[in-house]
Amino acid sequence: MFSRPAVDGKPATSCIGYAAHDNAGVLVPMTFDRAAPGPSDVRIQITHCGICHSDLHMVKNEWNNAIYPMVPGHEIVGIVTEVGEGVTKFKPGDRAGVGCMVDSCGSCEFCKAECGEQQFCKGQVLTYSSKLPDGTVTKGGYSDFIVVKESFVLRIPDSLPLDATAPLLCAGITTYSPLRHFGLDKPGMRLGVVGLGGLGHMAVKIGKGLGLHVTVISTSEAKREEAVKHLGADAFIVSKDSGQMQAAAGSLDGIIDTVSAKHDLAAMVALLRVDGRLVLVGVPEVPLDLPSAALIFKRAMVSGSLIGGIKQTQEMLDFCGEKGITASIEKIPIDYVNTAYERMLRSDVRYRFVIDIQGSLVQ
């Protein structure tokens, strides 16, 4: 099933996917062409693609950068079926993945940084609804295959299942990167995780993998058992309970805040120790308020974090392979994707939808 050079007379570049055609955001089947692999390209037959909440924002053009028709998906895993003559790191049959980026300028300070920080490159090309240097509009992983330059292809550890690994390409690196970058990765450190959704549950798992003491902070007491018994959190705080919040004041070295709705940042800062750091990875639709006094009297720091670069993303995958860390997923057929979007709006998923491409789009 991984070697489809042609189907019913269609050329090898003919690709099947699901696309949104306007800001109604309804996804329907669409056939389109992808470029044939060049000398430095890798062709990946997609087995699974995770659904990120940003996919929903994008198809509805809520960030005003949509290019239609749009094939979403930037949590892509699959099997290499073809490589260009200049490719040295991959061969047909390898397990591979593609995250949020497929190209960058390669010459700016961020691209040339030893750690590789292509996510900050002004010439960065996103995996979908973006333009390559030749003007081609990128299309993502809600499709049967993808062609990507070797330097943006990631190796998936053999120890990890492909389906539950897909969300690591976005949710995993989004939470892993700030823990490493800001030094919140020393065994025994006390980490708070605000919100227990797609990002939050990965922050808990990665935090525990790093040997941290992890406290989940949620508005819902109903999530306590899930956080502690199933995800392995060491403690749980209901943020609406003033007694619990006061008891935990000044106890955390850092907090990863994954919430994308309006909430009280000063209350989160109160949980930090002196010199503690609050890192925002969620993107609320409205600006958040933060009284300066909350920071001043703790010498606290508030930071934001995006994803990581290619080098760090591979590091994250290797770390998860070593620790056996994957996302908690609900696997769906691709024709269920519009219903999945509706359920995401209700936070009705534990914790990430993953499309079974080979089991539904390609049979």
Using pLDDT thresholds of 50, 70 and 90, give the confidence band for residue 74.
Answer: very high
Q: What is the mean pLDDT of residues 37-63?
A: 96
Question: Residues 130-148: pLDDT tens digits?
Answer: 999 999 999 999 999 999 9
Please tell me whether residue 19 adopts helix, strand or coil conformation.
strand
pLDDT band, residue 214 (cuts 50/70/90): very high
- CA–CA distance, 172 with 325 (Å, rounded to integer): 9
Write out pLDDT tens, residues 228-276.
999 999 999 999 999 999 999 999 999 999 999 899 999 999 999 999 9
Distance CA 97, CA 47 (A): 10
Please give the share of the chain, as a percent, with pLDDT higher than 70: 96
User: What phi and psi, each to the nearest 5 degrees, are found at residue 315?
Assistant: -60, -45
Residue 168 near residue 327, CB atoms below 8 Å: yes
Peptide bond into 69 cis (omega under 30): yes
DSSP state of 209: H
pLDDT at 13: 85
